[in-house]
A and B are shown apart, each in its own frame.
Chain A
Amino acid sequence: MRKALLVAVRDYNAAVRTKGFLIGLLFVPIMFGGVFIVMKFTEGRVDTTDRRIAVVDHTGVVAPALIEAAERRNESEIHDQETGKKVRPAYLMEIVGPRATEMEAQRVELSDKVRAGELFAFLEIGRDVLAPGDDGDASRIAYYSENPAFDDTRHWLTSPINDRIRSLRVAEADVDIETVERLTRWMSVEGLGLLSVDEETGEVRGGEQDNTAAVLLMPYAMMMLMFILIMAAVGTLVTAIMEEKGQRIAEVLLGSVRPTQLMTGKLLGAIGVSLTMVSIYMLAGVFVARQVEASNLVPYGALPWFAVYGLGALFMFGAIALALGSACTDPKESQSLMMPMWFLIALPMFVWVPVVKEPVGGLATWLSLIPIYTPMIMLIRIASPVTIPAWQPWAGLVGVVLFTALSVWTAGRIFRVGILMQGKPPRITEILRWALRG
């Protein structure tokens, strides 16, 4: 064990005291922070050039209201209230009389104007929009622009037009507008958590408005942490093994330590690296949560499970990485062999949304009981507010422990042979034979 620890300490130092580790450590927050900063940055950088919009109004009664609404908006919404700086473009509406006999020609003409930059877009309000009928063309409102799919302007136009149309319809029906509003008042369904009785005080708690952040963010954060935990360990191991094989260090080491000691040492070293990384993230996460007074979001109850599953996952994936790494002879090959493994590890990243949506559903339950997915998927389920059957985390744990023992044992047998292999890479069947025969 002393020798295994020596190996572990060396590997740990070799991995942690590098620029790579620091870069890796900063990568995740920088990536997320970077996205946030870029979003903030681009938010203030919208195109504030005024937009001219031609309105061809076949009804003749909608366009004036639209001009009014645009003017109101230009006065109150396009400037930053504190700095007075213009942050949005003004909308300048201009009414164009419809040329009823040659509509197509008019559309082409207006399109050319948009292309030439004289107009931003043009809007055509059909004749029958007040009482839509069978004539499709006359019953629609069409917005023509260069990029109609992603267009804030079109989105903005919808509501003043509908307000106007509604009030015209109401007036026609001779009903009081307030009555209409009272009759059609929209009711939404609020999502609330379950109630519970405090055992000490007898007070009823809960029933609070459910926090989307807690429902989505926490399981996601837990899964990401678990993923980082596994990745850091696997990465460290594969790098270390590739160096030892490439530089023929393995044989020197095996002149001093048993393969099992070497493997144990490498595994412990990599686990140390990975725990260092994740501890830093966790502490930072809890710290930030306290700073922003969101510490009630931290699922402390799930943390012990994180710890045991994390440890299991580290040994399990670490052993698999050791076995695969030792069976490769150069880094290129190890990458191609690791690719399927990455897909295996990363699968939960693609299914986490359905799992969070239905933590007790079939997919979530079954995936969470497959040992290699238990650490991530079961954790998502535990961290979600839904109560999952109490036996499942334990069943998952048993699976993880058994599978971990199996993979460590198998990896040991492959490692013993593979670590001295040079030259031609072994075939999968050969690797299996090493595992079976030892």
Chain B
Amino acid sequence: MDVNAVEIRNITKRFGAVTAVDDLSLDVPAGSVYGFIGPNGSGKTTTLRMIMSIFYPDSGSIRVLGQEHHEAAMDRVGYLPEERGLYRKMKVRDVLRFYGRLKNGDNVSGDVDRWLERLDLADWADKRVEALSKGMSQKVQFIAAIAHRPELVILDEPFTGLDPVNLDVLQEAVLELRAAGSTVIFSTHDMSTAEAMCDFVFMIFQGQKVLDGTLADVQDRYGTDTVRVRIEGDATRLQGIPGVERITDRGQLQELRLQSGANSQEVLGAIMSSARVTHFELGRPSLHDIFVRIAGPEAEEASDA
């Protein structure tokens, strides 16, 4: 097996006057879970579609599973698009078998039934798709992407809109795929999911790569400039402390970003002089914080979604 499941070299894609993806290069190591993050409209879906060869880059090249002409690799790739698509009038099992056969899947029927059982959908196998709830159809769509045992699984926003139970079920399933040797790429808005699940994080902003590496690498780039404190009383007491660039209210905790060169001990002293501190922690910024630093506060809402 190749070292990299996906190798992207200098791809650019324009839609009219808009450059959706700008000179992007990326390696996705085989067997890893790779998280794509970035605000809405930054080029995530376009990049994923190009990996799927639904779109073609205007320039640059993409190798998928070692194939330059990656159409040939298509049957070994599973794809869950951002917008779910199932034939409403077909029965759940029939849709899944149809999608599986389109991928030249061997014994898809067995795998389909196994996954339906695994994701608690066995009772719905002979029902029509239109009878499913949103969460259920999302699970069905997930099975459609993986039933043919793909070596590479591409999931565009797989966890959006799921209730906590289904969210756990799908996250487990993704980790199970990796354990079975598949490479998984997924895009997400939820930074805590990305932090918890990904071996590598890739952030795209305005069509350009802004972050790429393991979570630790990414965080190291920003150093230990984050202080998390819990104080008794009103959080407004933290206002105006010298050396603090930005305060983010996390409810129970206050997250303070220090100005570069600021001394964390001096900041602690300043806080202690105005409030009673019950928790003080010096650490690396969260992925969420990094995301907001890059994309600006206007992207914060999107990343919380």
Contact = CB atoms under 8 A, between A and B. Distances in A.
A255 B52 contact: yes
B98 A252 contact: no
A290 interface: no
Contacts of B75: 256
B71 interface: yes
Interface in B86-134: 86-90, 98-99, 101-104
A248 B74 contact: no
Given A254-B54, A255-B79, A256-B74, A6 B102 contact: yes
B254 to A, nearest CB: 41
Contact of B54 (A3, A10, A244, A420): A420
A14 B91 CA distance: 11
B212 to A, nearest CB: 24
A249 B104 CA distance: 18
Contacts of A7: 102
A252 B54 contact: no
Contact of B86 (A249, A255, A257): A249
Given A6-B98, A14-B87, A14-B90, A251 B103 contact: no
Nearest to B84: A248
A14 B129 CA distance: 14
A422 B79 CA distance: 19
Nearest to A9: B98
Contacts of B54: 251, 254-255, 420
Interface residues of A, number: 23
Nearest to B90: A14
A145 B36 CA distance: 86
A249 B102 contact: no
B88 A247 contact: yes
Contacts of B98: 6, 10
A248 B101 contact: no
Contacts of A243: 87-88
Interface string B131-158: 0000000000100100000000000000
A254 B71 CA distance: 11
Interface string A236-250: 000000011001111
A253 interface: yes
A256 B83 contact: no
B81 A256 contact: no
B251 interface: no
B164 interface: no
A430 to B, nearest CB: 10
Contact of A251 (B85, B87, B102): B85
Given A6-B98, A247-B87, A252 B103 contact: no
Contacts of A422: 83
A357 interface: no
A251 B45 CA distance: 12
A253 B87 contact: no
A18 B89 CA distance: 10
A247 to B, nearest CB: 5
A258 interface: yes
Interface in A316-360: none
Contacts of A420: 54
B74 A249 contact: no
A249 B101 contact: no
A3 B102 contact: yes
Contacts of A10: 98
Interface residues of B, number: 25
B88 A251 contact: no
B95 to A, nearest CB: 9
Contacts of B84: 248
The interface centre, meaning the residue of A243, A252, A255, A257 with most chain B CB atoms within 10 A of its CB, is A255
A17 to B, nearest CB: 10
Interface string A4-28: 0011001000100010000000000
A2 B75 CA distance: 13
A7 B87 CA distance: 12
A257 B87 CA distance: 16
Nearest to B154: A255
Nearest to A245: B85
Nearest to A247: B85
A2 B101 CA distance: 10
A272 B68 CA distance: 37
Contact of A249 (B49, B79, B87, B103): B87
Nearest to B77: A255
The interface centre, meaning the residue of B79, B87, B88 with most chain A CB atoms within 10 A of its CB, is B87
Contacts of B99: 252, 256
Contacts of A3: 102
A253 B95 CA distance: 11
A14 B89 contact: yes
A380 B141 CA distance: 50
Given A243-B88, A247-B88, A252-B144, A257 B102 contact: yes
B45 to A, nearest CB: 10
B225 to A, nearest CB: 41
Contact of B81 (A2, A14, A244, A252): A252
A244 B86 CA distance: 8
A243 B95 CA distance: 14
Interface string A111-127: 00000000000000000
B85 A244 contact: yes
14 contacts: A10-B98, A14-B87, A243-B88, A247-B86, A248-B85, A250-B85, A251-B81, A251-B85, A252-B85, A253-B102, A255-B74, A255-B79, A256-B74, A258-B71
Give the 7 A-B residue pairs with the shortest CB-CB distance, closest first: A255-B79, A249-B85, A248-B83, A248-B85, A256-B102, A252-B85, A251-B81
Interface of A: 2-3, 6-7, 10, 14, 18, 243-244, 247-258, 420, 422
Given A252-B85, A252-B99, A255-B77, 10 more contacts: A6-B98, A243-B87, A243-B88, A247-B88, A248-B84, A248-B85, A251-B49, A256-B79, A256-B99, A257-B102
